[in-house]
Chain A
Amino acid sequence: MDEAALIRAAQAGDQEAFESLVRNYDQNVLKLAYSLLRSNEDAADIYQEAFLRVHRNLKNFRFDCSFHTWLYRIVTNLCLDTLRKRKVRKEEQSTVSTSEGVKDRLDLVAEERATLDPQRRLLSLELKNKINGVLDTFTPRERMVFELRHYQGMRLRAIGETLGTTEEAAKNCLFRATQKMRTALGEFV
Chain B
Amino acid sequence: MNCEEIRSDLTLYYYGELESEQEELVEQHLADCSHCLAELTQLQNLLTQVDSAAQEPSAELLAHCRATLSESIQPAVQPVWRRWLSALHAPAWVAQPVMALALLGLGFYGGKLFEQNRFVTSNTQEVARVRAIQGLGDGNVRIIVDEPRERVVSGALGEENIQQLLLAATRQASDPGLRLESVDLLRSRVNRDDVRQVFLQTLTKDTDPGVRLRALEALRPFTQEQDVRRALSSVLLTDANPNVRVLAIDVLVDRHSNEMVGTLQQVMRQEDNEYVRSRCLRALGAMRASPGVF
Contact = CB atoms under 8 A, between A and B. Distances in A.
B17 A171 contact: yes
Interface in B52-75: 52-58, 61-62, 64-66, 68-70, 72-73
A110 B61 CA distance: 14
Contacts of A47: 65, 69
B95 interface: no
Contacts of B55: 34-35, 38, 107
A44 B64 contact: yes
A113 B76 CA distance: 41
B53 A132 contact: yes
A131 interface: yes
Interface stretch (B27-35, B41-49, B136-144, B219-227): B41-49
A43 B64 CA distance: 11
A174 B53 CA distance: 18
Interface stretch (B8-16, B175-183, B243-251, B280-288): B8-16
Interface in A162-189: 171, 174-175, 178, 181-182, 185-186, 188-189
The A contact surface, by secondary structure, is helix
Contacts of B65: 26, 30, 44, 47-48
B11 A30 contact: no
B46 A44 contact: no
Contacts of A175: 8, 11-12
B46 A185 contact: yes
Name the residue in B51, B272, B293 with the highest tally of chain A Cβ atoms < 10 Å from its Cβ: B272
B16 to A, nearest CB: 9
Contact of B47 (A40, A127, A150): A150
B197 interface: no
A92 interface: no
B92 interface: no
A31 B56 contact: yes
User: How many interface residues does chain B have, given as a range?
Assistant: 35 or more
Interface in A79-136: 106-107, 109-110, 113, 124, 127-128, 131-132
Nearest to A146: B50
Interface in A10-58: 13, 15-16, 18-19, 22, 26-27, 30-31, 33-35, 38, 40, 43-44, 47-48, 51-52, 55-56
A180 to B, nearest CB: 11
B35 to A, nearest CB: 14
20 contacts: A15-B73, A16-B112, A26-B65, A30-B57, A30-B61, A34-B61, A35-B54, A40-B61, A43-B57, A47-B69, A55-B76, A113-B269, A131-B53, A155-B17, A156-B12, A174-B15, A182-B42, A182-B43, A182-B46, A188-B49
Given A43-B57, A109-B294, 4 more contacts: A44-B64, A128-B52, A131-B50, A185-B46
Interface of B: 8, 11-12, 15, 17, 42-43, 45-47, 49-58, 61-62, 64-66, 68-70, 72-73, 76-77, 109, 112, 116, 269-270, 272, 293-294
Interface of A: 13, 15-16, 18-19, 22, 26-27, 30-31, 33-35, 38, 40, 43-44, 47-48, 51-52, 55-56, 106-107, 109-110, 113, 124, 127-128, 131-132, 149-151, 155-156, 171, 174-175, 178, 181-182, 185-186, 188-189
